[in-house]
C-alpha cells in the first residue's frame, strides 16, 4: 500500500509535464559577475527538457555538469563563472540529436561596486513592520489581477485582499521618517497565488516574482532605492521552511525528495523542544522539523542539495538585485540547522554587511540562545545566526506592566530575563518588539492603559537590541489576534475613500496624536544619542517596585541615559546614591520629554510613569 501511495504521488507530480511549454523557465533568470562564489546552478523547466543536450559558449562561463533528476521536465545546470567573465548576454542552446533547437538568452549583469549599498541593520535603527496589503493603496490598477486564483477585493473581510501595495508604502516614507523610523520591514512581497488569505505573503508560489497585486520586481527595486535615498533601510522577510501549495514547482515536482514526504499528511507539532532536548526521540524531532506547517504550505526538504542551491541563490539574487539591507527569517526553528548554518556562511560571504535575524517564538532565554551563533558547545556546530526575535523579552515587558510583583514576577521579570544575556554571543543583535502581525496588539494587551503604553514604548526604544514596532502602534491601533484577525486591520488614510487620514495630525484624535508625538520624540532622540544607539546596558535590581537601568558609553559619561520605570499606584522618591557607579560626578539631568533640567541626588518619580533622563 505504501509503495502504491508513492507511485501515485509521483504520477500526480509528473502527470502535468505534457501541458507545459518546451522551455518554460530558467531560474535564476539572470546572474551577476564577480560574485564571491563562482558556481551557479540553473534550474531549467520545460517539456521533456532532460532529453536535450545543452551547450553554452561564452568567455569566462563554463558548463561543468548537466544534472538529470527524476522528473524529465527538469535539468539542473552547473556553471562556473570565472572572475574574467564580463557582463553581457549569451545563448543557452537545448537540442535533441542536433535538432529541435530551443534557446534561452541568459544575461550576466555587473555586481554592484558600491560598498555602502547594503548597509545592515543594528541597534542604531528603529524598525517599522507593516503588511503592504493593509498599509496603503498607492496604485488602484493592480487591485485585482485577472488570471490569479484570488480576485476578491473586500476590505470588510480580514481574509481577502484589501488593495495595499508597494507604491502605497513609497508614498508614505516621509511619514515614517517624521516618526523617527530608520528601517522598513514588509511581510513577504513575493507572489502568493493562493485561493484564500493570499495577502500575508508566507505561502510563496513564485520565488522570483513580486506579487503583481503589490507591484513588479522593478517597482520593488525602486522602493529600496527610494528608501535609501530618504535615509531609510529595508528588511526583506523570507521563508525557507515551506511554500504555497499553488507554487509552480509543487504542481510538477523536480523529484519526490524536493519536499518532506509522509505516507499520510503529517503536520508539525509546533514544539521547539525536541530540536534541543538531549533526551528527545528521533520521531518527535522529525515531526517538528519535517511536518508540514499547514496543509496548504508544503514543507521543503532542506537536506536536498538542489533545494539548498535554489534557496541560497534566490536570496542572493534578491539582495544583489535590489540592494536589501537585512533579512528576517520566518519560522527559523523549523528549518534544518546544518543547512541554515551553511546558508548564513554563503550569504555573508557575498554580503558582509547584511543583517540577519530569525523568528523564534519560543518560551525561554535558553531556547532562543540555542538557535543563535556561538553556541558550539551545545550544538556541535555554529549556526552563525546573529540574532533572533526576542519574544521572551517581549513577554517580560508584558509581565512588568501587567503582572503582580514577586521574586521573578512583575517588574522583576524583566530584570531576571536580561540577566540571562550571557547566553547570547551578542544580545544587541536581537530584534526586540511588543507585538507583530501574528499576535494581539500591544495597546489591547495592556488593556488600553495609556500609562502602560508609554512605559512599554519607553522600554522598547531604550533597551538593548534592535527595536521593532508594528504598524499603527504609534496611533494606538488595537485588537486581539483571535478570533477575527483584526490585528491586521487597514491603516486609515491609506485608501482614497477613507473618511479619516491617520497619516496626518488632523486625522488623528487627541489621544492618538499624544501617542504619535510620544513615539516621535523618543525615536528621534534615539537617533541622536550614541548611548542608546550603541552603548552598553547596566541594570539594577528593582527596589520598591521601581526598575532603573542605564545606557552608556564606557569612559564617556556625557550622553548617558537613565531610564526609570515606576509601574505602581504611588509616587516614589528615588535616592540615586545607589547608582553612583553610573552617576558619579554628575549633578544634573535633562528630561527628554519635558526638556527640563533637574538635580539627580533625589528624584520624584510619578506613579505609573517612565522617566528618561540624559545625564550631564
Instruction: Quick: pLDDT tens for 183-235.
Output: 999 999 999 999 988 999 999 999 999 999 999 999 999 999 999 999 999 99
Residue 14 predicted with pLDDT over 90: no
Contact 63, 78 (CB under 8 A): yes
Task: Kindly state the helix (H) or strand (E) to which residue 185 belongs, with its residue range.
Answer: strand 183-186
How many Å apart are CA 546 and CA 610, to the nearest integer?
10
Q: Kindly give the residue spans of alpha helices, DSSP state H, lying in 121-238.
A: 132-135, 166-171, 173-179, 217-229
How many Å apart are CA 126 and CA 290, to the nearest integer?
35
DSSP 8-state secondary structure symbol assigned to residue 111: P
Say if residue 315 is exposed, middle or buried (CB neighbours under 10 Å; 0-12, 13-18, 19+): buried
Instruction: Look at strands 74-81 and 39-45 and give their pairing.
Output: antiparallel
Residue identified by cell 517599522 is 128
Task: Kindly state the helix (H) or strand (E) to which residue 7 belongs, with its residue range.
Answer: helix 2-14
**Are 482 and 551 within one domain?**
no
How many Å apart are CA 347 and CA 19, to the nearest integer?
36
Domain contains 281: no
| pLDDT of the residue at 232 | 98
**Are 483 and 504 within one domain?**
yes
How many Å apart are CA 223 and CA 218, to the nearest integer?
9
**Are 421 and 568 within one domain?**
no
**Banded model confidence at residue 557, pLDDT cuts 50, 70, 90:** confident
Segment 437-445 mean pLDDT = 97
Contact 256, 9 (CB under 8 A): yes
Q: Which residues of 211-236 are buried (b: 16+ CB within 10 A; e: fewer)?
A: bebbbebebbbbbbeebbeeebbbbb
446-477, pLDDT tens digit by residue?
999 999 999 999 999 999 999 999 999 999 99
Say if residue 136 is exposed, middle or buried (CB neighbours under 10 Å; 0-12, 13-18, 19+): buried
| pLDDT of the residue at 553 | 96
Q: Does the bond joining 152 to the residue before it have cis omega, within 30 degrees of 0?
A: no
The grid coordinates listed for 180 are 523617527
The grid coordinates listed for 217 are 520586481
Of all residues in the chain, the percent with pLDDT exceeding 70 is: 97
Contact 127, 467 (CB under 8 A): yes
| pLDDT of the residue at 379 | 84
Domain contains 116: no
Look at residues 109, 140, 167 and tell me which one is the last residue of a structural domain: 109
Instruction: Determine phi and psi for 17, rounding to 5 degrees.
Output: -65, -30
| pLDDT of the residue at 8 | 35
CATH code, 541: 2.60.40.1180
How many Å apart are CA 413 and CA 398, to the nearest integer?
9
Contact 49, 23 (CB under 8 A): yes
**Are 163 and 201 within one domain?**
yes
Helix (H, G, I), strand (E, B) or coil at 214: coil
**Banded model confidence at residue 2, pLDDT cuts 50, 70, 90:** very low
**Are 512 and 548 within one domain?**
no
The grid coordinates listed for 578 are 545607589
**Are 515 and 569 within one domain?**
no
| pLDDT of the residue at 482 | 85
| pLDDT of the residue at 10 | 40
Domain contains 122: no
Look at residues 483, 507, 531 and tell me which one is the last residue of a structural domain: 531
Say if residue 92 is exposed, middle or buried (CB neighbours under 10 Å; 0-12, 13-18, 19+): buried
Angle subtended at Cα 275 by Cα 274 and Cα 281, rounded to the nearest 5 degrees: 40
In terms of Cα–Cα distance, which of 238, 247, 241 is closest to 267? Answer: 241
Segment 512-524 mean pLDDT = 98
Backbone dihedral region of 390: left (phi > 0), alpha (psi from -120 to 50 degrees) or beta? beta
Domain limits at 228? Answer: 127-256+298-531
| pLDDT of the residue at 441 | 98
Helices 391-402 and 450-462: angle between axes, nearest 10 degrees: 140
Residue 17 predicted with pLDDT over 80: no
HSE (CB half, 13 Å, CA atoms) of 605? 30
How many Å apart are CA 333 and CA 324, to the nearest integer?
23
Contact 301, 260 (CB under 8 A): yes
How many Å apart are CA 311 and CA 306, to the nearest integer?
9
**Are 84 and 99 within one domain?**
yes
| pLDDT of the residue at 18 | 43
Give the dihedral sign, CA 176/180/186/187: negative
351-376, pLDDT tens digit by residue?
999 999 999 999 999 999 999 999 87
Contact 474, 483 (CB under 8 A): no
Helix (H, G, I), strand (E, B) or coil at 254: coil
Angle subtended at Cα 22 by Cα 16 and Cα 27, rounded to the nearest 5 degrees: 90
Helix (H, G, I), strand (E, B) or coil at 72: coil
112-155, pLDDT tens digit by residue?
999 999 999 999 999 999 999 999 999 999 999 999 999 989 99
Domain contains 278: no
Domain contains 517: yes
Residues sharing a CB contact under 8 Å with residue 478, sequence separation 6 or more, in sequence order: 441, 443, 444, 448
Contact 442, 456 (CB under 8 A): yes
Name the residues annotated as catalytic.
Answer: 330, 359
Segment 526-539 mean pLDDT = 97
**Are 305 and 415 within one domain?**
yes
Helix (H, G, I), strand (E, B) or coil at 540: strand
226-284, pLDDT tens digit by residue?
999 999 999 999 999 999 999 999 999 999 999 999 999 999 999 999 999 999 999 99
Segment 442-447 mean pLDDT = 98
Q: What is the pLDDT of the chain when averaged over all its residues?
A: 95
**Banded model confidence at residue 546, pLDDT cuts 50, 70, 90:** very high
**Are 466 and 379 within one domain?**
yes
Contact 592, 612 (CB under 8 A): yes
CATH code, 36: 2.60.40.10
Sequential DSSP letters for 387-456: EEB-HHHHHHHHHHHHSPP-SSSTHHHHHHHHTTGGGSS-GGGSEEES--TTS--HHHHTTT-HHHHHHH
Residues sharing a CB contact under 8 Å with residue 488, sequence separation 6 or more, in sequence order: 131, 134, 158, 200, 437
**Are 132 and 84 within one domain?**
no
| pLDDT of the residue at 380 | 86
378-418, pLDDT tens digit by residue?
788 999 999 999 999 999 999 999 999 999 999 999 999 99
Domain count, the chain: 3
Domain contains 461: yes
Domain contains 204: yes
| pLDDT of the residue at 100 | 78
The grid coordinates listed for 236 are 526583506
How many Å apart are CA 204 and CA 243, to the nearest integer?
5
Look at residues 506, 531, 556 and tell me which one is the last residue of a structural domain: 531
**Are 142 and 234 within one domain?**
yes
**Banded model confidence at residue 11, pLDDT cuts 50, 70, 90:** very low
**Banded model confidence at residue 336, pLDDT cuts 50, 70, 90:** very high
Say if residue 269 is exposed, middle or buried (CB neighbours under 10 Å; 0-12, 13-18, 19+): middle
**Are 403 and 524 within one domain?**
yes
| pLDDT of the residue at 337 | 96
| Residue 470, beta-bridge partner list | 129
CATH code, 336: 3.20.20.80
Residues sharing a CB contact under 8 Å with residue 177, sequence separation 6 or more, in sequence order: 230, 231, 232
Domain contains 293: no
Residue 264 CA: distances (Å) to CA of 6, 250, 534, 538, 601: 11, 17, 51, 53, 69
Amino acid at each position: 500500500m505504501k509503495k502504491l501511495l508513492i507511485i501515485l504521488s509521483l504520477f500526480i507530480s509528473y502527470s502535468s509535464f505534457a501541458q507545459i511549454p518546451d522551455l518554460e523557465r530558467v531560474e535564476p533568470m539572470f546572474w551577476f559577475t564577480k560574485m564571491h562564489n563562482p558556481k551557479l546552478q540553473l534550474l531549467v523547466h520545460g517539456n521533456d527538457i532532460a532529453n536535450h543536450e545543452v551547450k553554452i559558449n561564452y568567455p569566462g562561463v563554463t558548463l561543468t555538469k548537466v544534472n538529470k533528476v527524476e522528473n524529465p521536465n527538469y535539468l539542473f545546470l552547473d556553471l562556473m563563472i570565472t572572475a574574467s567573465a564580463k557582463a553581457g548576454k549569451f545563448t543557452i542552446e537545448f537540442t535533441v540529436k542536433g535538432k529541435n533547437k530551443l534557446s534561452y538568452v541568459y544575461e550576466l549583469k555587473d555586481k554592484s561596486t558600491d560598498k555602502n549599498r547594503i548597509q545592515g541593520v543594528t541597534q542604531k535603527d528603529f524598525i517599522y513592520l507593516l503588511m503592504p496589503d493593509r498599509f496603503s493603496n498607492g496604485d488602484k490598477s493592480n487591485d485585482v489581477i485577472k488570471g490569479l486564483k484570488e480576485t476578491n477585493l473586500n476590505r470588510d473581510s480580514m481574509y481577502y485582499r484589501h488593495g495595499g501595495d508597494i507604491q502605497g508604502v513609497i508614498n508614505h516614507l516621509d511619514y515614517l521618517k517624521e516618526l523617527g523610523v530608520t528601517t522598513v520591514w514588509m511581510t513577504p512581497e513575493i507572489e502568493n497565488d493562493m485561493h484564500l488569505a493570499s495577502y500575508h505573503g508566507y505561502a510563496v508560489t513564485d520565488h522570483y516574482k513580486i506579487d503583481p497585486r503589490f507591484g513588479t520586481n522593478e517597482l520593488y527595486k525602486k522602493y529600496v532605492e527610494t528608501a535609501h535615498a530618504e535615509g531609510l533601510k529595508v528588511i526583506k522577510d523570507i521563508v525557507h521552511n515551506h511554500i504555497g501549495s499553488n507554487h509552480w514547482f509543487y504542481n510538477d515536482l523536480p523529484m519526490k525528495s524536493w519536499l518532506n514526504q509522509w505516507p499520510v499528511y503529517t503536520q508539525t507539532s509546533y514544539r521547539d523542544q525536541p530540536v534541543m532536548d538531549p533526551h528527545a526521540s528521533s520521531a518527535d524531532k522529525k515531526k517538528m522539523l519535517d511536518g508540514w506547517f499547514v496543509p496548504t504550505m508544503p514543507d521543503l526538504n532542506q537536506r536536498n542539495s538542489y533545494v539548498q542551491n535554489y534557496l541560497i541563490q534566490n536570496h542572493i539574487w534578491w539582495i544583489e538585485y535590489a540592494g536589501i539591507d537585512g533579512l528576517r527569517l520566518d519560522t527559523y526553528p523549523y528549518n534544518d540547522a546544518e543547512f541554515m548554518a551553511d546558508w548564513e556562511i554563503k550569504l555573508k560571504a557575498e554580503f558582509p554587511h547584511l543583517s540577519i535575524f530569525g523568528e523564534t517564538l519560543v518560551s525561554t532565554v535558553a531556547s532562543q540562545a540555542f538557535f543563535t551563533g556561538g553556541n558550539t558547545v551545545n550544538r556541535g556546530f555554529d549556526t552563525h545566526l546573529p540574532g533572533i526575535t526576542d519574544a521572551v523579552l517581549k513577554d517580560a515587558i508584558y509581565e512588568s506592566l501587567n503582572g503582580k510583583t514577586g521574586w521573578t514576577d512583575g517588574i522583576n521579570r524583566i530584570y531576571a530575563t536580561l540577566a540571562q544575556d550571557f547566553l547570547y554571543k551578542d544580545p544587541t543583535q536581537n530584534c526586540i518588539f511588543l507585538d507583530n502581525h501574528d499576535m494581539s496588539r500591544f495597546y489591547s494587551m495592556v488593556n488600553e492603559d495609556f500609562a502602560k503604553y508609554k512605559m512599554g514604548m519607553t522600554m522598547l526604544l531604550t533597551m538593548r537590541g534592535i527595536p521593532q514596532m508594528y504598524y499603527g502602534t504609534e496611533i494606538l491601533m488595537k485588537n486581539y489576534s483571535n478570533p477575527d484577525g483584526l490585528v491586521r486591520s487597514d491603516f486609515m488614510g491609506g485608501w482614497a475613500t477613507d473618511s479619516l487620514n491617520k497619516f496626518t495630525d488632523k486625522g488623528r484624535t487627541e489621544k492618538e496624536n499624544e501617542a504619535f508625538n510620544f513615539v516621535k520624540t523618543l525615536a528621534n532622540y534615539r537617533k541622536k544619542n550614541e548611548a542608546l544607539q550603541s552603548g552598553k546596558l547596566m541594570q539594577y535590581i528593582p527596589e520598591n517596585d521601581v526598575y532603573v537601568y542605564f545606557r552608556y558609553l564606557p569612559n564617556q559619561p556625557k550622553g548617558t541615559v537613565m531610564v526609570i520605570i515606576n509601574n505602581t499606584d504611588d509616587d516614589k522618591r528615588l535616592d540615586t546614591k545607589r547608582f553612583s557607579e553610573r552617576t558619579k560626578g554628575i549633578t544634573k539631568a535633562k528630561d527628554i520629554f519635558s526638556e527640563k533640567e533637574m538635580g539627580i541626588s533625589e528624584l520624584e518619580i510619578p506613579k505609573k510613569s517612565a522617566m528618561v533622563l540624559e545625564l550631564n
